[in-house]
């Protein structure tokens, strides 16, 4: 199967004409994010907390989806294995970027910031809420490492399941949260004829300044 340029040209979506003006924005990007996230929930977006996380491996960019798991002050929380590729990249260069995209309501949010390990109590609290299978997987998986087959992980999970039985599973030290402290936000509202509304919040000293960007 080949990807036809003609087929790609035919993929078009009318983004509607929902307006976003500077008068509609909160002074705080966190408040604006919370408003838009609430509206995404109301619109029943599939996995509205899915965000593409971009990191840097030496000079090469890397991106993958992770799940946004809450706010800590102005910071965005996600969780991962601390020995994974993304974690090693953050250890080397903790400047990151994330993107939320909610197609159904034609909205995109971009965030640029600094990633730091979350306090242990945040990681412990979230780990305790994970389904048992997710807890076992966190213990069993050497995330991002080469493995021979899926069976390798399944056998580890089965062994751990028998080991713990009905006992509580505590969070392993090599798994936990990160908090992204934003230095910039961008809120994008798709509009017809590609005349999108875009606003960037830029932190200057301790304050946020808002700029309208060309579509």
Cα atoms in the 13 Å half-sphere on the side-chain side of 139: 21
Q: What b/e string do you get for 86-112 counting C-beta neighbours within 10 Å, with b at 16 or more? A: bbebbeeebebbbbbbbeebbbbbbbb
User: Which residues have a catalytic role annotated?
Assistant: 194
């Amino acid at each position: 199967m080949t990807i036809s340029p003609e087929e790609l040209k035919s993929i078009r979506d009318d983004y509607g004409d929902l307006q976003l003006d500077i008068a509609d924005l909160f002074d705080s990007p966190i408040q604006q994010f919370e408003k838009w996230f609430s509206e995404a929930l109301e619109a029943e977006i599939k996995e509205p907390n899915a965000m593409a996380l971009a990191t840097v491996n030496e000079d090469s960019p890397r991106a993958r989806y992770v799940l946004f798991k809450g706010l800590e002050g102005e910071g965005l929380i996600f969780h991962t294995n601390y020995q994974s590729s993304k974690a090693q990249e953050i250890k080397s260069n903790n400047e990151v970027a994330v993107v939320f995209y909610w197609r159904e309501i034609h909205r995109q949010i971009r965030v640029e910031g600094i990633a730091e390990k979350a306090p242990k109590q945040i990681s412990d609290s979230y780990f305790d809420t994970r389904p048992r299978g997710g807890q076992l997987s966190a213990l069993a998986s050497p995330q991002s490492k080469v493995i021979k087959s899926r069976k390798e992980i399944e056998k580890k999970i089965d062994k751990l399941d028998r080991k713990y039985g009905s006992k509580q599973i505590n969070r392993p030290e090599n798994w936990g949260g990160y908090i992204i402290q934003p230095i910039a936000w961008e809120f994008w509202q798709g509009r017809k004829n590609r005349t999108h509304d875009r606003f960037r919040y830029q932190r200057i000293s301790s304050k946020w300044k808002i700029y309208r960007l060309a579509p």
